[in-house]
Amino acid sequence: MSTKFPAYLTPTQKASVLLEAVPWLRTYKGTTVVIKYGGNAMVDEHLKRAFAADILFLHQVGLKPVVVHGGGPQISAMLGRLGIDSEFRGGLRVTTPEVMDVVRMVLTGSVQRELVSLLNKDGSAAVGISGEDGGLLSARQRRATIDGESVDVGLVGDVVEVDPRSVTELLAMGRIPVISSVAPLVTDSTTVLNINADTAAAALAVALKAQKLIMLTDVEGLYANWPDKSSIIGCIGVNELEALLPGLASGMIPKIEACLRAVRGGVRQAHIVDGRQPHSMLLEIVTDSGVGTEIQLEHAKVIRHAGEAPR
């Protein structure tokens, strides 16, 4: 994996990129950062390698990255190959018992394995676990909301309890946990539920007292008037964001609900960044301007600056 500065940067510009990163790395050293890696941002080999390089960089310089991965397009592709119909309602996949078997097989058996092997190409720090392991997540069945109406989506869950010990123990050992978003029903561990990966990432970020939750997706950030590209939001507070919820569509609904839950639960910043741009996650953490949309408890009028005390 080689990452070279483009030839058009002068030596002074190259040095200033490195120097700009220093105060941010000092600020975030030792803190936990939960990164939600969406299935749409995983479709290209070059992007996947850039993602792995960023995670390994953060780990190397002393942050504690925790990866929660999705795999919606990969699940849909497998369902298609098996000739099983699948449908989304309110951004959530309608999950029959037959679909649930495929969700579990693809998320824990395939996508997670691929990410772990990518991260371990030149090392061994990454360890894959699922929400089912070590009591990490417990869930209850949830419904979707469409036009204000509650609708049944089958074996879909919302996280009700997190026992973060299996993750904190891995972090204490210097590992990089890679987590898939399936979870047992809180009242019956033999029933497994499909958890939207954004929802799982938010619940984990709160339980781990993470400094940041970074959502990698397939848009530049959140648009106030989707799909008007000029309406991209740089930074927004939770109350303002909640007011936008009724106007959002498809997968952005669970994503924004998850960001609200994370920030209200004590995570200092949630970010929506473009996973189609190589290294967007790293740029969000180590540059003065950041990238994508930042969600805070209250929209800070001040431009971000390094040296903010981590929680």
Ligand X SMILES: CC(=O)N[C@@H](CCC(=O)OP(=O)(O)O)C(=O)O
Ligand Y SMILES: Nc1ncnc2c1ncn2[C@@H]1O[C@H](COP(=O)(O)OP(=O)(O)O)[C@@H](O)[C@H]1O
Please state the closest distance from residue 93 (CB atom) to ligand Y, in A.
10
Rounded to 10 degrees, the C-alpha dihedral 66/72/77/79 comes to 110
How big is the chain by its Cα radius of gyration, in Å?
19
Residue 197 binding ligand X, by CB under 6 A: yes
Quick one: 93 or 212, whose CB is closer to ligand X?
93
Min. distance of Cβ 273 from ligand Y in angstroms?
Answer: 10
Pairwise CA distance, residues 34 & 158, whole Å = 18
| Integer Cα distance of 254 and 241 in angstroms | 13
Residue 109 token pair: 């058996």
Shortest Å distance, C-beta 278 to ligand X = 18
Q: Which stretch binds ligand X (CB under 6 A): 19-27, 35-43, 269-277, 285-293?
A: 35-43
Shortest-Cβ-distance residue relative to ligand X: 70
> Which of ligand Y, ligand X, none does 75 bind, CB closer than 5 to 8 A by kind?
ligand X
Residue range at the interface with ligand X (CB under 6 A); choices 16-24, 162-170, 193-201, 231-239: 193-201
CA dihedral (182, 185, 190, 192) in degrees, to 10, reads -30
CA dist 24 and 136 (Å) reads 30
Q: Which of 103, 116, 125, 260 binds ligand X (CB under 6 A)?
A: 103
Tokens encoding 33: 């950062």
For the CB of residue 143, give the shortest distance to ligand X in the complex, in Å: 11
Q: Is 194 annotated for ligand binding? A: yes
Beta strand 235-237 pairing with 156-162? unpaired
Q: How far is the CB of 293 from ligand Y (least distance, A)?
A: 8
Q: Are 38 and 218 in contact (CB under 8 A)?
A: yes
Name the DSSP class of 110: I
Q: Which DSSP symbol is given to 203?
A: H
Does the annotation place 239 within a ligand binding site? no
| Distance of alpha carbon 77 from alpha carbon 106, whole angstroms | 10
83 is in an annotated binding site: no
By the criterion CB under 6 A, which residues form the site for ligand Y? 38-41, 70, 72, 198, 217-219, 222-223, 226, 248-252, 255
- 74/71 Cα distance (integer angstroms): 5
Options 21, 24, 34, 38; binder of ligand X; rule CB under 6 A: 38
294 binds, among ligand X, ligand Y, none (CB under 5 to 8 A by kind): none
Q: Nearest 5 degrees, angle CA 122-CA 128-CA 130?
A: 165
181 binding ligand X? (CB under 6 A): yes
Residue 196 known to bind ligand: no
| Partners of 212 in the β-ladder | 33, 269
Token pair, residue 260, equals 């609200």
How far apart CA 133 and CA 162 sit, in angstroms, is 11
Of 50, 75, 203, 206, which lies in the binding site for ligand X, with binding defined by CB under 6 A? 75
Binding partner of residue 71 among ligand X, ligand Y, none, CB under 5 to 8 Å per kind?
ligand X
Is the Cβ–Cβ distance between 159 and 200 less than 8 Å?
Answer: yes
Taking CB under 6 A as the criterion, which residues in 136-175 touch ligand X? 156
Please choose which of ligand X, ligand Y, none residue 59 contacts, taking the beta carbon within 5 to 8 angstroms, the exact cut-off set by kind: none
Q: Which is nearer to ligand Y, 170 or 204 (CB)?
A: 204
Can you say which residues are annotated as belonging to the binding site for substrate? 71-72, 93, 194
- Residues near ligand X (CB under 6 A): 38-40, 70-72, 75, 92-93, 103, 156, 181, 194, 196-197, 251
Residues contributing to the annotated binding site? 71-72, 93, 194
